[in-house]
Amino acid sequence: MTAYLITYVSILDEDPTDLLLADGVIAAIGADAATAAEDLQEVETIDGTGLIALPGLVDLHTHLREPGREDTETVETGTRAAAMGGYTAVHAMANTTPVQDTAGVVEQVYHLGQEAGWADVFPVGAVSVGLKGEKLAELGAMAASEARVRVFSDDGMCVHDPVLMRRALEYVKSFDGCIAQHAQDPRLTEGSQMNEGVVSAELGLAGWPSVAEEAIVARDILLTEHVGSRLHICHLSTAGSVRLVRDAKARGLDVTAEATPHHILLTDETARSYDPVFKVNPPLRTQDDVDAVREGLADGTIDIVGTDHAPHAKEDKDCEWAAGAFGMIGLETALSVVQQAMVDTGKFTWQDVARTMSYTPAAIGRLDNQGLPIEVGNPANVCLYDPKATRVIEPSEQVSRSENTPYAGLELPGRVIATFLRGNATVLDGALVQR
């Protein structure tokens, strides 16, 4: 196994130092790294000047589409995209075909991730059978399976029935599980196409009110308080939701929340193009909402950044707005967007990036060997990132099987130079390692 000596690299916000990855772990840091490397037979040296070393990123919210929609993404292609984005672990959402609502299906996805080898894949189990919101799925069996599921979600669909939601919260307490809710009241969003506001009125598109999200967030916080369980709010997008979660945390409830890269950078003004690439669930909101979500991330109200990477076939996006599918890809651009929206604006340090994109998502998912600091003895899950680089996003150059990125033609800061999964390079010199 090749060892890697990375010279003069900054670990997060620290001064430049040397870093040695060997035998799958962080073998040495600082002056000892070069000395230790002399005793190894196969060592590749990487000039880390100007680069930042981040712990391998962990995504709590990825759609890999396999099984069922391999035309849009597979575990193989999705984890290759993850590696290009600096990720060493992703949680694969349950809305596949068949749905990930049994031990057999989650184990299938788990093994596909192991076979691909680009990033660890941790399946998210469905809350309800078939995502129908009528009957609890096999939560216990999925938790006890080889995939060891700890996060459950009907993402794409809201667990709207409060009785079912309560039962799910109660059930997962026995194995320290978490219910990740897609907060969307279906009755308030029937036929909705974009954020309800000035822009939707001007464009004549059916509005999606903020209260449709906030009503579910408020209800589920109350249920969580009553049951004493763990609740995670997926893709939080409104100022009102930020206030609700902030209040829940102030009262000591075990509630966590995520924001997506697109909800901290883009607004509903993008809909003026009528391009369905900007159509997403929940919808892009107003600038006031974007500012509130950024502040929520900055002050810790929102715990993590989750990509909600949602690949779609070309025909599902290359159409009129009303017929377009909801969702956009984001694994390969997430770190750049977070740099632009949070780091370059002074709201985040690189330590904050590690907290929201590695440490905390791994903790929510109860992962043992991901999301750990870059310290001697820890697994060598590392991302090398050049914050001074810039790149214009070209959809055809994305590694994902789909091209529905909302950043096409935009210049974004930063570039992932290398990604290491337990010391094995998956990306070097900004490109996938050929196998």
Binding residues: 61, 63-65, 95, 155, 182, 235, 281, 308, 312, 326-327
From the candidates 59, 220, 308, 352, give the one annotated as an active-site residue: 308
303 flagged as catalytic: no
How far is residue 205's CA from residue 163's CA, in Å, rounded to a whole number? Answer: 33
Degrees to nearest 5, angle at CA 325 with 322 and 329:
135
Round to whole Å and give the CA distance between 146 and 256. 26
Phi, psi of 122 (to 5 degrees): -115, 110
Residues annotated within the binding site for substrate are 63-65, 95, 281, 312, 326-327
d(CA 112, CA 352): 32
Helix (H) or strand (E) holding 108: helix 103-116
CA 304 to CA 429: how far, in whole Å?
Answer: 28
Q: Is the peptide bond before 283 cis (omega within 30 degrees of 0)?
A: no
Using CA atoms, how far apart are residues 28 and 374, in angstroms rounded to an integer? 10
Q: Which two tokens stand for residue 341?
A: 């929206």
Output the known binding site for Zn(2+).
61, 63, 155, 182, 235, 308
Q: What are phi and psi of 317, to 5 degrees?
A: -120, -25
Could you give the residue numbers annotated as active site?
308
